[in-house]
Amino acid sequence: MKGKRISEIMFIAFAGLFIAAVVIITLATPQGGFSYFENRSLQNMPEMEKDSLLDGSYFTTMEKFLTDNGAGRTTLLKLKTAYKLFINIKLLNCPVVNDVVVLPDVLLPFNPYETINMETIESQSQSMAENLSEITDLTESYGGKFMYVTVPCQYVSYESRYPWYLNSRREYTEASREALYNALEGSGVTVVDMYDTLTDAEIRNTVNSTVDNHYSIYGAYLTYLAVMEKINETERVHILTEDEFTITPLPNHYVGSRSRKLFDISDVYDTIDILTPKVEIPFSRYDNGKQVAPTVYSMPSNQYEGVLYSLYMGGDIGETVIDTGREELPKILIYGDSFTNAFESIAYYSFGEMRSLDFRHYTEMTLGQYIEMYKPDYVVCIRDYEQLISTSANGCGID
Query: Could you report the average pLDDT of every consecutive run of 10 residues in the chain (399 residues)?
Result: 54 50 50 53 59 58 55 66 76 88 96 96 97 98 97 97 96 97 95 96 95 97 98 93 97 94 89 96 97 97 93 97 97 97 98 98 97 98 97 95
Model pLDDT, residue 359: 97
pLDDT at site 368: 97
Q: DSSP secondary-structure letter at 90? A: I
Residue 87's pLDDT is 80
Beta carbons within 8 Å of 31's beta carbon, 6+ residues apart? 42, 44, 45, 65, 69
Q: Quick one: pLDDT at residue 29? A: 55
- What is the number of alpha carbons within 13 Å of residue 387 lying toward its C-beta? 22
The pLDDT score that the predictor gives to residue 93 is: 81
CB 201 within 8 A of CB 211: no
Instruction: Quote the pLDDT of residue 263.
Output: 86
Q: Are strands 378-384 and 331-336 parallel, antiparallel or unpaired?
A: parallel
Which of 367, 318, 322, 325 lies closest to 346 in space, CA to CA? 322
Per-residue confidence (pLDDT) for residue 79, from 0 to 100: 73
Q: Which pTM does this prediction carry?
A: 0.86
Distance CA(145)–CA(190), nearest Å, equals: 9
Q: Are 231 and 81 in contact (CB under 8 A)?
A: no
